[in-house]
Structure 1
Amino acid sequence: MTTRSFDKAPSTAPLMLKAVLPAIPVVGELPGIKHGSGSVPDLTLERRNVSTKPGHLEQYNEVCGFPRSNNLPATYPHMAAFALHMALMTDTAFPFAPMGLVHLRNSITQHRPIGVDETFDISVRAADLRPHSKGRLVDVVTTVSIDGVVVWDEVTTLLSRGRDGGTENSTPPLAGVEAPDGVVHWKLAGDLGRRYGAVSGDRNPIHLYPITAKAFGFPRNIAHGMWTKAHALAALQNKLPNAFTIDVEFKKPILLPSTVVFGSNIDGNVITLGVTSTRKPSTHLVGRIAPA
Structure 2
Amino acid sequence: MKQLVSTLAVISMLMVVIAGSGAFLLSKVFIAQSKVDAVAAVAKGVSLTLSEQVNLLNSMLDKMAQDPEFINAAAQNNPDLLANAITKLENHFPGILSIKILLPENKYSINKPNVAMGYADLEMARKTFTNDQLTAIQGDVGPDRHLAIARRIMQNGTAIGVVLAGLNYDFINRILSATTLGKGYIELRQGKLVLASAGKKNDQEEIYNDPINVPNSDWQLYYENSAATSLGEFSLMVGIVLVPALAVALGFVTGYRKLSDILTQDVAWATKAFKDMLTEKPLGAYPIKLSEIRIVVSTLAQFKRAVNEKRLEI
TM-score, normalised with respect to structure 2: 0.21
Structure with more of its chain in helix, by fraction: 2
Greater C-alpha Rg:
2
Q: Give the structure-1-normalised TM-score.
A: 0.23
